Amino acid sequence: DVYGCCSLAFVSESCSVEELEVPQEVDRARLRCLQQWTERRLVSVVISLPDRDPFRLLYGASPRLDPDTAHPKLLISEENRKVSYSEVQQAYPEQGARFSSFPQVLASKPLQGGRAYWEVEVEEDEGKWKVGVCEGQIGRKGQKDTCRIGFNPYSWCLLSEKGKIEALHDKVAVPVEVGGLGRVGVLLDFEEGSLSFYKVAQGGALSLLHCFKQRFSEPLYPALAVSKTQLNIPDLFQAESVKSE
């Protein structure tokens, strides 16, 4: 008709959804555009919400650590989600992927495309830690900057040392003002080219700590470093992984 409207059709109760056919009048290209527009709007709403639940439910991940990459002074436990520093060097077998000089460990699987959100429980003590990501090309042997998370072009992290928090990439440190940090949320967005770190408050409210803008062209591994402290990657889908206020 003049307005290009589809006529209504009445379907009997015995007709299943699978038997329905899309009328020829429907513009499939227009439907695809509408779907893409809806998805973009949903993402923009989710990103603007200062709460962890949309991130957790849509993009949530719980990376597991790869013991074969762990420095000999790191202990991996709790289903490969917890890393603790030990003064006693462990008798780990030699691995090409293992860090030999810096107390670091990588996740077992890289993240590739799309969006991913995970959290890391941190300690407020005198220890030093890093929470971040890196490309697989990061060096493993020796004391060169190419092996240190945050000291080269292919790694990004949040660093805590002596009570100070900094965002670190390629040896450039940006101070971050925050207090009472007990849990860090990490949102990696390949599509937008961003890596965001959040403070996760009790109850789930998020406060942005720092955002790196970068077009990531390689898969990225969640990466941790600890010295005289411990870090834990919680299961985001375990009941009440963040207590209510």
| Better pLDDT: 55 or 32 | 55
Least confident among 7-16, 47-56, 85-94, 102-111: 7-16
- Assign 200 a pLDDT band (cuts: 50, 70, 90): very high
Least confident among 15-29, 126-140, 179-193, 221-235: 15-29
The residue with tokens 């949040």 is 158
Is the pLDDT confidence value at 33 over 90? no
pLDDT at 9: 42
The residue with tokens 């010295």 is 227
pLDDT at 71: 98
Tokens of 173: 């440190």
Rounded CA separation 194/33 (Å):
25
In sequence order, what are the residues at sequence separation of 6 or more whose Cβ sits closer than 8 angstroms to the Cβ of residue 89?
72, 73
Torsion of CA 201, 133, 190, 114, to 10 degrees: -70
Say if pTM beats, i.e. exceeds, 0.75: yes
Average pLDDT over residues 124-128: 89
| Better pLDDT: 24 or 98 | 98
Rounded CA separation 65/75 (Å):
11
- Assign 6 a pLDDT band (cuts: 50, 70, 90): very low
Q: Which amino acid would we find at residue 240?
A: E
Mean per-residue pLDDT of the chain:
87
Asked whether the CA dihedral 75, 94, 170, 154 is positive or negative, the reply is negative
| Better pLDDT: 46 or 211 | 211
pLDDT at 244: 40
Q: So where are the chain's domains?
A: 51-232
Superfamily holding 51-232: SPRY domain (2.60.120.920)
Is the pLDDT confidence value at 80 over 80? yes
* SS3 state of residue 106: strand
pLDDT at 100: 96
Quick: pLDDT tens for 140-155. Answer: 999 999 999 999 999 9
In this structure, are residues 76 and 85 in contact, taking their beta carbons and an 8 Å threshold?
no
pLDDT at 91: 94
Rounded CA separation 240/231 (Å):
19
H or E element in which residue 45 lies: helix 28-48
Q: Which amino acid would we find at residue 32?
A: R
